[in-house]
Chains A and B, each alone.
Chain A
Amino acid sequence: MQARGKLRRSVMYAAGNNAGLVRDASIYGADSIIYDVEDSVSVYEKDSARQLVYYALKRLRRTCEVGVRINHISTPWGLDDLASLLPAKPDYIRLPKGESGEEIQQIDRIISKAEQDNGFEPGTVKIMVSIESPKGLRNAYEIATASPRMIAIALGGEDFAAAMKTEKTRGNEITGGRELFVARSLLVLAAKEAGIQAIDSVFSDMRDEETLLNEVLLVKELGFDGKSCVNPRQIDLIHRAFTPQQDDIRYAIRVLNVYEEAMQKNSGVIALDGKMIDMPMVIRAERVLALAEAAGVYVKEVGK
């Protein structure tokens, strides 16, 4: 499957200087993992984290997509991060605090050069960008379309709330944390207009599964494709929320069957259980089945 349409319900961070976490990050079933050499690594250990992540990328068998979160290229470490880690061919670079398309184009050029130098096929290494500031949000579409390597934009909720001089809250069932509601909405609009994925922010209270579930259901409804997390315990819950239920799958199959039948018969009005079936419903049904198939809960029948 193409990197763009790939399933990324859960995107899990692993602290890049923690040998045990780096070794085991892939076993918990996350759709995508990110070795982090940014926030989770102290300024004194940037060098050792880079080495650890480099050798992990080089030596460990990849059972899922593996990206690296580098320090921003405006910091003293960002460019060195790219220089040391790109030769290990991560699946993508995650840039924190993206604010402009120009930054992305600069990283794109660095990646292109590294791909050439290391003999990787051009376009192999993708880019995912975190939006963590009002400026980044304003430029979200520009960022999302700055490079054909772009696969997703993600919300960095804590940082965004801090930049807004407010704080991240547990919020309510309708809007989640109200401080992020507009940001989430704008970010997902930009992502969808650009035709890439939108990934939601980390939910940090490990014990509060109820609020986590509400938050995942909310962002799924808004159109997000997945959620970041730092603790493996959240993965199953996130997946459950993002994976179509059997009822939805069965209904989607029926919608598509009725639609196909109508196409063959050339009949104008299509109905199912007395309800009109229109084009958006057909598209939705196709999306449900694609997601279900990608999540391994539905196998497409041959010949259909």
Chain B
Amino acid sequence: MMNAAGREIPESLEGYKKIIPYQGPFAQLPPEGARKSGPLLKVVRPGAEKVLQSIDEAIDASGLKDGMTVSFHHALRNGDRVMNMVMKAISRKGIKGLTLAPSSFLDSNDELIELFQDGTIVAAEASGMRSRLGHFLTNSRIEKPVIFRTHGGRVRALECGELKVDVAFLAAPACDSYGNINGVQGPTACGSMGYAMVDARMADTVIAITDHLLDHPLCPVSIPQHQVDFVVKVDSIGDPNGISSGALRMTSNPKDLLLAKFAARVIEKAGYFRDGFGMQLGAGAASIATGKNLRELMLRDKIAAGFAIGGIPGPFCDLLDEGLIRTLFDVQSFDARSIQSMRDNPRHQEYDCTFYANPWNKGAMVNKLDYVVLGATEVDIDFNVNVITDSNGIIMGALGGHPDTCSGAKCSIICAPLLRGRLPMVSDRVQTISTPGETVDVIVTDRGVAVNPRRQDLLENLKGCGLPLMSIEELRNLAIKLVGVQPEPVSVTDEVMAVVEYRDGTVLDVIRRPVPLSTGGRGSG
């Protein structure tokens, strides 16, 4: 059947819930009278101890059995050692048939491929995955299709019971002997625990894994003791260098600077640049540079942002210190500067992922955004965005908060160079839709800026301010003219490898297994 984003969706999929096709960004609501689900009721009596001696002991104590669901958080990014360490220990115990549902996978999780191969893990649900693991799950069938959810969609799934976590293993940069956790102390500090806070609240059993065990009580507390079953001390939960990997620095790449110049101009002129505005900027080079340009405009016009949200990069913290942003809401701290700022500045507030992005609560922060600036792998003439599969249809990205913020923001801005090598960034049809076009407002490229025709108001505001405005079709034609020819589409089989859920749990798109590339390319003239 066809969904509202124009994608052909199967009627049903083995190993996946009853399919509801995507119907529009705000069409799907919770069933009448539905209540939040929650973890088991449990009691820890006075005198009981929570500290265990090893991961093995913790796995035993958790009651983990074949077929259960385990989760992890990704705040330590590529520096994380906990997911691989715990999953390997689980595998050694011979437990099989698990669903692995971390908030996201990262490059460091390639080691888990063998656990998918030997049946320890039979299903995966996350925001995204990269590198060899992404390649593997695009091409190799496991028991169930992989489910991709947005950051907000994952909390929604947990709170409405679609995703039930039996055991959450939480990397805890600082943890006391009774299970209080924060992310700002210890050798492996990662800053905000925004994703882990959700799992701590929702999982039946919560195990804190720390390399910085403190006497009770630690302070400040991000995840409270009453949510945590056990505490395990290990030598190291991660590599601090990996936590701020790809350290955010000011780019000197002229193309990124050009994109940033255009994006900042859009923000200045689109109609919402006034004192108290709210924004989110992604972590890409162009987004960070946009922040620098914005700073100049804010100083010039004596405008301060009321708040900035999302993953927080260091340059935002400088704006906070300068008074150009009044409050930061931090679900994930991108670098050392941001971790330090959250620890030291009371206006740099840690918050969890439901507060950030959940579509089914009483109002997430994304609803209050004026602007969001994000990247994309490709967009199409319907303004649909793909951030999850590459040009060969291989899974290599993450939905993250992309669809959440685009649906919430008054003006969502996507920045990317028009060509990557000889691949046009604007095509007739993206390989996979990760964010529906009806929530995407402005496409900024290095050769032109296109405004979604649904947003004539923005278009009017942006006219005559020096931006190279053109229609999305003109942008596409420009790309193809440069390259010389339209690229041939990726051919895919009928086999569905992954489901891309919209934030409300409907099916936005599916990822089908690509037809293997022939080794040919020879021929005669």
Contact = CB atoms under 8 A, between A and B. Distances in A.
- A–B contact with Cβ pairs below 8 Å: the answer is yes
Interface of A: 23-24, 27-28, 59-61, 206, 231-233, 236, 296
Interface string B460-499: 0000001000000000001001101000000000000000
B482 A233 contact: no
Nearest to B484: A59
Given A27-B258, A27-B447, A233 B481 contact: no
Contact of A232 (B254, B419, B466, B484): B254
A60 B482 contact: yes
B63 to A, nearest CB: 57
Contacts of B254: 28, 231-233
Contact of A28 (B252, B258, B419, B466): B258
A249 to B, nearest CB: 16
A27 B446 contact: yes
A140 to B, nearest CB: 33
A61 B447 CA distance: 12
A303 B47 CA distance: 92
Contact of A233 (B252, B419, B446, B447): B252
B446 A24 contact: yes
B274 interface: no
A24 B255 CA distance: 9
B156 to A, nearest CB: 41
A274 B23 CA distance: 70
Contacts of B213: none
B415 to A, nearest CB: 14
B510 to A, nearest CB: 36
Contacts of A60: 482
B462 to A, nearest CB: 15
25 contacts: A23-B419, A23-B482, A24-B255, A24-B446, A27-B255, A27-B258, A27-B446, A27-B447, A28-B254, A28-B258, A59-B484, A60-B482, A61-B478, A61-B481, A61-B482, A206-B252, A231-B254, A232-B254, A232-B257, A232-B258, A233-B252, A233-B254, A233-B257, A236-B261, A296-B466
Interface string B253-290: 01101100100000000000000000000000000000
B423 to A, nearest CB: 13
B34 to A, nearest CB: 51
A296 B466 CA distance: 8
A96 B447 CA distance: 31
A59 B484 CA distance: 9
Interface in B348-379: none
Nearest to B255: A24
Contacts of A27: 255, 258, 446-447
A231 B261 CA distance: 16
B310 to A, nearest CB: 27
Interface of B: 252, 254-255, 257-258, 261, 419, 446-447, 466, 478, 481-482, 484
A60 to B, nearest CB: 7
Given A61-B481, A236-B261, 18 more contacts: A23-B419, A24-B255, A24-B446, A27-B255, A27-B446, A27-B447, A28-B254, A28-B258, A60-B482, A61-B478, A61-B482, A206-B252, A232-B254, A232-B257, A232-B258, A233-B254, A233-B257, A296-B466
Contacts of A59: 484
A133 B220 CA distance: 70
A152 B455 CA distance: 45
**Main DSSP-derived SS at the A contact region:** helix
Contacts of B482: 23, 60-61
Contacts of B484: 59
Interface centre among A27, A28, A59, A233 (most CB of B within 10 A): A27
A236 B261 CA distance: 10
B18 to A, nearest CB: 48
Contacts of A23: 419, 482
Contacts of A231: 254
Contacts of B481: 61
Contacts of B419: 23
A75 to B, nearest CB: 31
3 A-B pairs with the lowest CB-CB distances in the bound complex, closest first: A232-B254, A27-B446, A27-B447
B108 to A, nearest CB: 31
Contacts of B261: 236
B255 to A, nearest CB: 7
Contacts of B466: 296
Contacts of A233: 252, 254, 257
A21 to B, nearest CB: 10
A231 B255 CA distance: 11
A62 to B, nearest CB: 12
A236 B257 CA distance: 11
A269 to B, nearest CB: 39
A61 B446 CA distance: 15
A206 B257 CA distance: 14
B453 to A, nearest CB: 24
Contacts of B255: 24, 27
A24 B418 CA distance: 11
A162 to B, nearest CB: 28
A253 B447 CA distance: 34
A231 B252 CA distance: 10
B470 to A, nearest CB: 12
A296 B464 CA distance: 10
A236 B446 CA distance: 15
Contacts of B257: 232-233
Contacts of A296: 466
Nearest to B419: A23
A23 B261 CA distance: 20
A100 to B, nearest CB: 37
A28 B447 CA distance: 9
Contacts of B478: 61
Interface centre among B252, B258, B446, B478 (most CB of A within 10 A): B258
B265 to A, nearest CB: 12
Contacts of A232: 254, 257-258
A130 B446 CA distance: 31
B448 to A, nearest CB: 9
B293 to A, nearest CB: 11
Contacts of A24: 255, 446
B238 to A, nearest CB: 35
Contacts of A206: 252
A238 to B, nearest CB: 14
Contacts of B446: 24, 27
Nearest to B466: A296
A293 B498 CA distance: 55
Nearest to A236: B261
B440 to A, nearest CB: 22
B81 to A, nearest CB: 38
Contacts of B447: 27
Nearest to A234: B254
B464 to A, nearest CB: 9
A40 B458 CA distance: 43
Nearest to A60: B482
A232 B478 CA distance: 21
A13 B231 CA distance: 62
B251 to A, nearest CB: 11
A1 to B, nearest CB: 19
A60 B484 CA distance: 10
A107 to B, nearest CB: 31
B263 to A, nearest CB: 15
A188 B414 CA distance: 45
A236 to B, nearest CB: 7
